[in-house]
Amino acid sequence: MRSASNILRLGVKELYSLARDPVLLLLIVYTFTVAIYSVAHGVQTEVKNAAIAVVDEDRSALSERIRGAFLQPYFQPAALIGLNEVDPAMDEGRYSFVLDIPPNFQADVQAGNSPTVQLQVDATAMTLAGNGARYIQYIVQTELIKFLSRSETEVELPATLVTRARFNPNLDSSWFMAVMQIVSNVTILAIILSGAAVIREREHGTLEHLLVMPVTPGEIMAAKVWANGAVIVLASVLSLHLVVQGLLGVLISGSIGLFAFGAGVYLFAVASLGVMLSTVATTMPQFGLLSIPVFLVLNLLSGGVTPLESMPETLQSIMQASPTTHFVKFSQAVLYRGAGLSVVWPQILMVAGIGLVFFTCALLRFRKTISMSH
């Protein structure tokens, strides 16, 4: 009971210290409001307003029909350019796609030949290039079918593929980006706040004051973990309600309370990692430089940016030791698919187990740092 009381009181002291730091408070507010909204609206993975040009060497009714099939909001009105303009236009980045329709295209199609239509793609933006190329291929094939059938109805096929998109029926990338940005920001803030709390004590000379009090290093560290974790959980829950659901209109299928519980377990692990990093760095600039590569690895290889299954098997196995990998899987299951505790309990246990290892390692480092400073 005495240990719990010490942890509670030290955590309250940590909250007061955080409340007197306007820079960190501004960072928390910005991270869970402006950063979420701007990324969700600014980062687009679907084809939208893509610049396309057509080299029409046929000048037939079919080629005109294909050129007119590129409509907004997916594409800008297709520009008609000459063959000699293609390379300069692509080099200057004026068009993401250039479709070259060869001479005698309509005549070859009507004769049953197989003319080749060339599509040049600026693959600088890989997601736009891949999705846009598929869109264009589908548009050209659809117009060919309509032209050959001489009607606006598709040719009767022996089988029909019906696609149903679950959890995001409009395939809106902002739904995905908004939630995953919260997961990403939870990680970086947990590392920054917990590590900054330790370094702030060291720089202000208050760490020595704690050493003369009847508290243990474990209690000091646990207080910093729960206090900073509680702030981040509260900020993320408010962001889900006010920004994601309110401003962005994203449908949250699952329980935000369950997400908050899982986030609390996850913050126990990541905040411990932040404390451990703060025992390696001696100043705030050093801590910032050390945190950046750690956060980038945790974020980029967690499965939130690219599917974990697309990575090499060895890397997939290594990333199972990262709590971020399991938290991303947990968050997607709860917030996107409405999964309950019966589905996500393995991820919670994995995060808790990894967090216990991080906390133990951080505590050993923290004790060593305190003994050296003392």
pLDDT tens column, 27-42:
899 999 998 988 887 7
Peptide linkage before 169 cis (omega within 30 of 0): no
* Least confident interval from 52-56, 61-65, 156-160, 300-304: 156-160
Mean pLDDT of the chain: 85
- State pLDDT tens for residues 261-297: 999 999 999 999 988 898 888 788 888 888 888 888 8
What's the confidence (pLDDT) of residue 238?
94
Question: Which is more confident, 8 or 345?
Answer: 345
What's the confidence (pLDDT) of residue 210?
66
Where does the pLDDT of residue 4 fall: very low under 50, low under 70, confident under 90, or very high at 90 and above?
Answer: confident
Question: Which is more confident, 326 or 157?
Answer: 326
β pairing state of 97-101 and 118-121: antiparallel
CB 226 within 8 A of CB 7: yes
Decide if pLDDT at 152 tops 60: no
Burial of 226 (0-12, 13-18, 19+ CB in 10 A): buried
Decide if pLDDT at 363 tops 90: no
Decide if pLDDT at 234 tops 90: yes
Decide if pLDDT at 354 tops 90: yes
**Measured distance CA(312)–CA(59) in Å, rounded:** 48
> Structure tokens of 174?
């902002």
What's the mean pLDDT in 177-201?
86
What's the mean pLDDT in 180-192?
89
What's the confidence (pLDDT) of residue 151?
46
What's the confidence (pLDDT) of residue 371?
62
Domain boundaries defined on the chain = 2-43+172-373, 52-149
**Measured distance CA(343)–CA(174) in Å, rounded:** 26
Share of the chain above pLDDT 70, in %: 92
Closest CA to 176 of 45, 344, 310: 45
What's the confidence (pLDDT) of residue 148?
80
> Structure tokens of 146?
């309509």
Decide if pLDDT at 201 tops 80: no
CA 363 to chain centre: 31
* Least confident interval from 122-131, 315-324, 340-349: 122-131
Angle at 213 between CA 208 and CA 216, to 5 degrees: 90
How far the first Cα of the chain sits from its last, in Å, is 27
What's the mean pLDDT in 2-7?
81
pTM, to two decimals: 0.77
Decide if pLDDT at 374 tops 60: no
Where does the pLDDT of residue 158 fall: very low under 50, low under 70, confident under 90, or very high at 90 and above?
Answer: low
Q: Which CATH number fits domain 52-149: 3.40.1710.10, 1.20.120.1200, 3.30.2020.30, 3.20.20.70?
A: 3.40.1710.10
- State pLDDT tens for residues 105-143: 888 888 888 888 999 988 887 777 888 888 898 898 888
What's the confidence (pLDDT) of residue 211?
64
> Structure tokens of 209?
């004051």
